Amino acid sequence: MASDNQIVFFDTTLRDGEQSPGCTMHHAEKLRFAHQLANLGVDIIEAGFAIASHGDFNSVQAIAREVSTSAKAPRIASLARCKREDIEAAARAIEPAAKNRIHIFLSTSDLHLAAKLKISREQALDQIAQSVALARGYAEDVEFSPEDATRTDLEFLIKACTVAVQAGATTLNIPDTVGYTTPAEYTQLFRTLRSRVPNSGNIIFSTHCHDDLGMAVANSLAGVEGGARQIECAINGIGERAGNAALEEIAAAIATRHDRYPYTSNLVMTELYPTSKMLGEIISFNCSPNKAVVGANAFAHESGIHQHGVLANPLTYEIMTPASVGFTGQNIVLGKHSGRRALEHRLTELGHKLSREELDTVYNRFTELADRKKSIYDQDIIALLHAHDAEPLVTNAS
Ligand code: KIV
Ligand code: ZN
């Protein structure tokens, strides 16, 4: 039995993430990545949108068959519009999974109803009721998302959620489809829905935040503060436009600021970095170097003052250890801002213990090089020991 503070991580990298430009994945890649999501310990994998193409259907089905093989493995979800053919395709695709879910969505904002769906509010409510009920005939676990919820008239949103719950929805996801909400507003929205939707105590509320204003992670955590217990997110924050809330950032915030976010989850934190790297390799682009938690510079220290601090005690400039999120690379980066101590540290790691005089000489050569060259690699440092215009330094190299 999960505790009241247990967060369900719903990963949508393979659905919302894959929908974003440049992030298309092939069948084998999706399957490989889904296995890694299982290693990471996500609770639910949204494996795709089964009706979208034969390829999508086959991937969702293969992930259902090969990844959700036991009660402990992730639940597999497929997205579906409020259409019979979508729901039936989703049901067929997820059928082999040990645990599965149909995720139904319909826009509820007046803007989307008029401009996109061209239906009335009454028609929307009918479609929600019929589709959720149909889906419940195929799956015990049905999620409903009122798309563009954060720009939906509040009274109508409550009605739409109520209809979905009455028709059998077990999770209510409240998407901030266009990344428009703010943390305080989103917290309040969950509080209101939890108090106004009948029987809400028996369902799980979920966040789904886009990053158009750079607030997706903050909004997701604010949603949890308002009572949501499922977070929909994606690795490296990929997703439509500016992306989805980044799973690794939410996970790290909960782990690092447990005093403010006293929640638990099934995530294996040390799999965060390997999962991020695998995604970057599959979609052929990594996140930006300064990306929180998994960016190449997330734990890198180049300036002498910071390097000195970190070498004396990592807590001076690190709020979590690189190892805690599975980062195994170098975090002391040598460049023109680096100091003598960092150079000495790296030389020692490379097997060269220098006397004070030798270190002074090499440090002088190093600063000259660093003025000319952006990245200093280990081979550059070794070369400094044997600079061609000077006597090679005699070291006790191992
Ligand atoms: O952003 C969104 O509204 C969605 C829904 C389909 C859940 O991705
Ligand atoms: Zn989305």
pLDDT in tens, 210-225: 999 999 999 999 999 9
Contact 286, 23 (CB under 8 A): no
Give the pLDDT of residue 47.
98
Give the pLDDT of residue 389.
52
230 strand-pairing partners: 8, 206
Contact 127, 107 (CB under 8 A): no
Dihedral sign computed on CA atoms, order 350, 356, 359, 363: positive
Distance CA 56, CA 79 (A): 11
What spacing in Å lies between the alpha carbon of 14 and ligand 1's midpoint? 13
User: Domain 304-397's class?
Assistant: mainly alpha
Of all atoms in ligand 1, which is nearest to the CA of residue 148?
3
Distance CA 203, CA 216 (A): 23
For a ligand 1 pocket test, name from 116, 208, 219 the mutation site with the most ligand atoms within 8 angstroms of its C-beta: 208
Q: What's the residue count for the chain?
A: 398
What spacing in Å lies between the alpha carbon of 164 and ligand 1's midpoint? 16
Taking the chain (398 residues) in runs of 10, the rounded mean pLDDT of each run is: 85 96 95 98 98 97 98 97 98 98 98 98 98 98 98 98 98 98 98 98 98 98 98 98 98 98 98 97 93 94 92 94 90 91 92 94 94 89 78 52
Whether the pTM exceeds 0.75: the reply is yes
Q: Domain ranges for the chain, please list them.
A: 8-283, 304-397
11 strand-pairing partners: 45, 233
Distance CA 151, CA 396 (A): 68
Ligand 1 lining (C-beta closer than 6 Å): 16, 105, 145, 147, 173, 175, 177, 208, 210
The second-level CATH assignment, the architecture, of 8-283 is Alpha-Beta Barrel (3.20)
Contact 269, 276 (CB under 8 A): no
Residues 6+ apart with CB under 8 A from 236: 13, 246, 248, 276, 279, 280, 286, 287, 291, 294
Contact 90, 80 (CB under 8 A): yes
Contact 346, 382 (CB under 8 A): no
Quote the tokens at residue 159. Answer: 């009605």
Dihedral sign computed on CA atoms, order 369, 370, 372, 377: positive
Chain segment 114-164, per-residue pLDDT in tens: 999 999 999 999 999 999 999 999 999 999 999 999 999 999 999 999 999
Give the pLDDT of residue 85.
98
Give the pLDDT of residue 392.
60
